Each structure stands twice: as C-alpha cells, then as structure tokens.
Chains A and B, each alone.
Chain A
Amino acid sequence: MVSRTTDDYQRMAQAGCVAITEPAFWAGFDRSSAQGFSDYFRQLTDTEPKRAATYGISHHCWLCINSKESEDVGFAREVISIIPDFIDCDNVLGIGEIGLNKNSKNELIILEEQLALAQRMNQLVLVHTPHLEDKLKGTNLIMDAIDNTSLDPSRVLIDHVEEHTVRAVLDRGFWAGMTLYPDSKCTPQRAADIIEMHGTDRLWINSAGDWGPSDPLAVPKCRVELASRGHSQALINTISYDNPLSFLSQSGKFSVK
C-alpha cells in the first residue's frame, strides 16, 4: 500500500488479513510524465509485495491510468502504452482501477481504451466509480461502456457501490464491491445493511487504504459488525474471503498462502 506505513501491514496481519489487492490510483497529485507511472508500476509489482510479505500478506495489484489523470488523453495513452510491460508480473491481477471521476468525455474515451486493452489481453477488470454526486451517473455510464465490449461481466468488479447503485450493478451481472470508509462511501454498518438487503451473491467488502482518511482495518470491523448482529460465520466468510477468492482466482494469479 504505497500510501500507508509498514505499521498498517503489521496491524492488518494481526487482524487476520492474509492477502490484499492494491489498485493503481491517483497519488494525490498529477504525475508529470509517463515515466512516473513506470516507477509507480515497479513499486506496485516489486516493492510492495516484499513489504507485505514481511507480515505474511500476499500482495497483488492492478494496473492502469486512473480516471483523475485521464483528462489529458495524449498523456493517458502514453501511460496505457507501458502497461503491457508489467502485465505479466506475478502479482498483477488485471486492469484497474479504471472508471470515471467527473464523468467527462475524455475520461470516457480513456476508460473505453483501457477496457479494450483488458479485452485484448484477456484481463480481469477492477472499476472505480465516481465520488458522491457523480457516482450514480458515472456508474451507469461505466456499465454501458462495458456492455459495448465483449468483456464478460462476471470478470468485472464494480467497486464503491452504495445503496443507490448496488442493485443495478448486480442485476447487470457484475461483481459489486463495497469499499469501507470511516466517513465517505460505505461504513461497516451500512455495508452490513446492504448485505442484509441484497444478499451475498457476487458482493464483497474491501478496506480503503489510500492517502486520505481511510481505514485498512475496516474489513475486520465489518466482520465484527455482522457477527454482533447475529450473522453466521459462513456468511461473514463469504462476504470477506470466499467471494473475493472466487472473483480474483479468475486471474490465474491470485494466491493466499
């Protein structure tokens, strides 16, 4: 987790975390060159797996140019051109997190080009859906864009779903991820509500471990929330372990030691 200290890996291991998947995302600032992404991809495929392994955690990642840096189409295409150099690394699970941020035309062009890349290279796809007021519209635009490809929706995880998007994502055949945050997006309590309302089929939870306010221990907190409501250990394992394992294993590279 490029944004977090080693202490977070240690605390996650102590809380029972055995594997993580880290998407390529915005660093809080725009990188000035495609070479900056090359270094970032090296960090994701070489440095972070070693850091995580110190605590017995299997580290996997996704590669892409994120939507926040996709407004400059020429720049984004330069970054896309270097993804194939890293895609065969042992811990790379697919293309992600691609998607939209402000739902602009240029973001959509780059999303479509990265979907095409995933299709050509037979990769899983991890989708980032926009924040706050932009999420509903962006989620629908993204699902329409995927429907225009031959990508199998069962090989696509649409992340950051909330109450107003989860049903449509599941009904259209995609996997749905609930990213747990202390304040924005889904809290562990609301995720538990969503599970109670929508079941566990193709739905799972994940902790955000980014550079903003986020909590790498959100998944264990949600597990505790579900247990305290009387849910079975089987349901808790399905939503936090078995479902991620089912989806991610489609990559052929995901492993938990």
Chain B
Amino acid sequence: MTKEEIVDRYFLEHRAKVLDIAAFLDRIDRAEENASDFRIEALLSCIKELHSGKEGRTQRILDLLSDQTKEPIDHAGMKGASGAVPPTS
C-alpha cells in the first residue's frame, strides 16, 4: 500500500483513538483526586514516543511499558497485570 492509501484507509479509525485518549485524560482531570498514577505517567511517556518521528514506535512503547528486570520474583502476589510497571518493580 502507498502512504496515501494507508492514510486514506486508517486515518479516521486513529483519529477516533486519539480523541478517546484525550477524553480519557480529561475524565481523569475532572475527577476530584489529584494523586498521580504510574499508569498515567507511563501513558504520557508513550505519547511522547509517538513524536519521535522514527519507525519502531510500537516496539519502543512496549519496551517502555515492560518490566526490564531479569530475575524471577520471589512470589506471585497477584494474577493480573496492570499494563505498566508499578513503582516497586
């Protein structure tokens, strides 16, 4: 596909996704609590990566959201994953 064909085909879908992110952040701003959340901090870092202008954004964003330690943890305290690396990891 040419660049123009890619944009023609996918632009509206991703325009909607950007608006979803903006609305999500606005929703958080309207909430009463002001405490920061590591997941939102991580999301904002990912958004910065979108501006890098270099191919490979998806992999770099996944790396930003990944636990970069190497050793197994002592115990699995929970089953789920949060999507970003908690501050204690």
Contacts and interface: CB of A to CB of B under 8 A. Distances in A.
B interface majority secondary structure: loop
Given A71-B76, A104-B72, A229-B1, A136 B63 contact: yes
A104 B75 CA distance: 5
Nearest to B69: A137
Contacts of A133: 65-67, 81-85, 89
B4 interface: no
Interface of B: 1, 9-10, 58-59, 62-63, 65-70, 72-85, 89
B72 to A, nearest CB: 5
Interface stretch (A42-50, A89-97, A105-113, A240-248): A105-113
Contacts of B82: 132-133
B21 to A, nearest CB: 14
Given A133-B66, A164-B63, A190-B58, A105 B81 contact: no
| 9 closest Cβ pairs, A-B complex | A102-B76, A132-B81, A136-B66, A164-B62, A104-B76, A131-B81, A163-B59, A163-B58, A105-B72
A interface majority secondary structure: helix
Contact of A107 (B1, B68, B76, B81): B76
A134 interface: yes
> Is the interface on chain A under 10, 10 to 19, 20 to 34, or 35 or more residues?
20 to 34
Contact of B79 (A68, A141, A229): A68
Nearest to A104: B76
A102 B68 contact: no
A24 B3 CA distance: 42
